[in-house]
């Protein structure tokens, strides 16, 4: 039962990444090592964010029992804007067509995040003697993060395009800010509504799906206009 549980968690994480890489055309572009390079920039970006957080936002000695400190969390979440800069660096370093750029950046970024934040948890926790739905939730959350990072990479790429319709630039910018502040918004919503872990996961999936579909529509319009696919 222990190995079966761990195998299910591993399959939930690995299979979507494999199919994304295999059937999206990335394998034809030889983007395997580019994904690793994107992961390296992810690690560098997270180290810079940790230094900024440790310097300017030290951990409080007294926990806030009444609720979350919205202003403090807002400033901490603002540091996540560095992720947009990291993705921009990745996109500028990848040659090729638009879809290859955004998929390589998104898959590499999401893969590095999962390895650094969830792999050890699944390896140690999911192989335990007792079954816990938390590890299934973390595996599903990894898939949502994959879609989210591909969406964010696409928005960064759209924002950097000079041939993007100027009327769409404010929309793309607003969606980039939503991507950056999404964790804070969902945490506040969950705190206000007192939702459980499964409902919170569903809200995150719906939020990510809405962002992804809107981004896909903007990208498809630009691709059709410019003849890039």
Q: Which residues, other chains included, contact 163 with Cβ-Cβ below 8 Å and sequence gap of 6+?
A: 222, 225, 226
Distances (CA, A) of 27 to 16, 19, 189, 193, 197: 15, 10, 39, 43, 36
Split at pLDDT 50, 70, 90, the class of 227 is low
Report the pLDDT value the prediction gives residue 51, as an integer from 0 to 100.
Answer: 92
Which tops the pLDDT comparison, 128 or 226? Answer: 226
Query: What is the predicted pLDDT for the residue at 54?
Result: 87
- Read off the pLDDT band of 10 (50, 70, 90): low
> Using one digit for the tens of pLDDT, what is the confidence trace for 123-162?
666 565 566 777 788 888 989 999 999 999 999 999 998 8
Average pLDDT (161-186) is 92
Mean pLDDT, the chain, rounded, equals 83
Residues ≥6 apart with Cβ < 8 Å to 141 = 118, 201, 204
**DSSP output for 98-129:** HHHHHHHHHHHHHHHHHHHHTHHHHHHHTTSS
The pLDDT assigned to 62 comes to 44
Q: Does residue 169 come out as left (phi exceeding 0), alpha (psi in the -120 to 50 range) or beta?
A: alpha
- Tell me the percentage of the chain whose pLDDT exceeds 70: 82
Residue 94 has a pLDDT of 82
89 vs 25, residue with greater confidence: 89
């Amino acid at each position: 039962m222990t190995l079966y549980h761990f195998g299910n968690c591993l399959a939930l994480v690995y299979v979507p990444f494999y199919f994304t890489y295999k059937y999206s055309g990335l394998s034809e572009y030889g983007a395997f090592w580019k994904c690793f390079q994107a992961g390296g920039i992810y690690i560098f970006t997270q180290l810079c964010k940790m230094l900024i957080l440790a310097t300017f936002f030290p951990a409080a000695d007294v926990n806030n029992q009444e609720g979350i400190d919205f202003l403090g969390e807002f400033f901490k979440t603002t540091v996540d804007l560095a992720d947009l800069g990291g993705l921009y660096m990745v996109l500028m370093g990848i040659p090729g067509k638009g879809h290859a750029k955004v998929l390589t950046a998104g898959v590499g970024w999401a893969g590095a995040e999962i390895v650094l934040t969830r792999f050890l948890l699944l390896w140690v926790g999911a192989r335990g003697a007792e079954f816990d739905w938390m590890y299934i939730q973390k595996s599903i959350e990894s898939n949502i993060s994959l879609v989210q990072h591909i969406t964010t990479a696409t928005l960064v790429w759209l924002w950097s395009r000079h041939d993007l319709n100027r009327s769409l630039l404010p929309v793309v910018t607003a969606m980039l800010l939503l991507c950056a502040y999404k964790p804070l918004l969902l945490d506040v919503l969950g705190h206000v509504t007192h939702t459980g872990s499964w409902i919170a996961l569903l809200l995150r999936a719906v939020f990510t799906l809405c962002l992804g579909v809107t981004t896909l529509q903007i990208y498809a319009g630009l691709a059709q206009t410019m003849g890039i696919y």
